[in-house]
């Protein structure tokens, strides 16, 4: 019985490795989805509906299919990163970290849904002027939600996470300082160009790789006593 109970003990999840895998998946999926959707939409917000050809519709549809999986990977990334703090977690900054992360995911889903609504609605609009109005309003709403609100929530997330890293020493101080710098860019610079928004998945990718490297460098823990 003792051998059976000892063999059936639940093994803890390898949080650093899980965070690295989830972060890499989010970075790749989110970058691909964002590039597909934004490249299919014209830079001019007043463009007519003629840009929605078969190629643009296919790219938007593919980007919309990838976005939910990017959000799921990001939620997993948040969970395992938070798990690394253990008993040293600061409740205040942890609450801000979780809240801003959930808002970020919700807003990128809303932005993607608006893009999907544009694609689904335009074929049903017979009047060209009405179609242009629908497209203009939808694109403006999508850009407001993603660039103005979602990425600023990502900036708040980075500030709270960088602060917890500084206080606990879970990550090197230089990565916490870099996190503050990325947060400032997301809070104040993303309105200039949507390509700047790709700095966030790039940050997640860099942190994920660093976590994976630190995990491999860490000496293996001694075997638990019987």
Q: Is residue 8 part of a domain?
A: no
Q: Is residue 5 part of a domain?
A: no
Give mean pLDDT, residues 80-98: 75
Residue-range definition of the domain harbouring residue 68: 14-210
Q: Is residue 113 part of a domain?
A: yes
Terminal Cα-to-Cα distance of the chain (whole angstroms): 14
DSSP string, 166-205: HHH-SS-HHHHHHHHHHHHHHHHTTTT-GGGGGHHHHHHH
Question: What percentage of the chain reaches a pLDDT higher than 70?
Answer: 72
Instruction: Report the domain count for the chain.
Output: 1
Residues 6+ apart with CB under 8 A from 85: 94, 164, 168, 170
Q: Is residue 219 part of a domain?
A: no
Q: Check residue 182 and give its pLDDT.
A: 92
Eight-state DSSP code of residue 122:
G
Among 86-90, 100-104, 208-212, top mean pLDDT goes to 100-104
Are 25 and 73 a contacting pair, CB within 8 Å? yes
| 223 C-beta neighbours (distance < 10 Å), count | 6
pLDDT at 60 over 80: yes
Q: Is residue 215 part of a domain?
A: no
Between 221 and 91, the more confident residue is 91
Between 94 and 128, the more confident residue is 94
Among 17-26, 42-51, 157-166, 213-222, top mean pLDDT goes to 157-166
Q: Is residue 193 part of a domain?
A: yes
CA–CA–CA angle 32, 105, 21 (5° rounding): 60
Q: Check residue 104 and give its pLDDT.
A: 94
For residue range 150-192, list pLDDT tens digits in order. 989 999 999 999 998 888 887 888 999 999 999 998 888 766 6
Q: Is residue 226 part of a domain?
A: no
Q: Is residue 105 part of a domain?
A: yes
């Amino acid at each position: 019985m003792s051998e059976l109970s000892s063999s059936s003990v639940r093994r803890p999840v390898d949080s650093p490795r899980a965070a690295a895998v989830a972060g890499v998946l989010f970075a790749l999926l989110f970058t691909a989805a964002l590039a597909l959707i934004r490249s299919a939409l014209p830079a001019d917000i007043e463009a007519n509906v003629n840009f929605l050809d078969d190629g643009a519709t296919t790219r938007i549809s593919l980007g919309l299919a990838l976005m939910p999986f990017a959000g799921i990977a990001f939620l997993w990334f948040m969970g395992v990163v938070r798990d690394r703090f253990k008993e040293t977690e600061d409740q205040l900054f942890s609450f801000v970290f979780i809240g801003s992360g959930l808002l970020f995911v919700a807003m990128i889903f809303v932005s993607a849904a608006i893009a999907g609504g544009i694609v689904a609605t335009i074929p049903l609009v017979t009047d060209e002027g009405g179609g242009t109005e629908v497209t203009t309003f939808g694109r403006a709403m999508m850009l407001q939600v993603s660039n103005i609100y979602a990425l600023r929530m990502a900036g708040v997330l980075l500030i709270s996470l960088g602060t917890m890293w500084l206080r606990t020493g879970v990550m090197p101080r230089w990565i916490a300082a870099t996190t503050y710098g990325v947060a400032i860019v997301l809070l104040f610079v993303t309105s200039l160009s949507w390509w700047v928004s790709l700095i966030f998945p790039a940050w997640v990718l860099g942190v994920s790789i660093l976590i994976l490297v630190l995990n491999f460098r860490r000496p293996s823990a001694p075997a638990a006593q019987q």
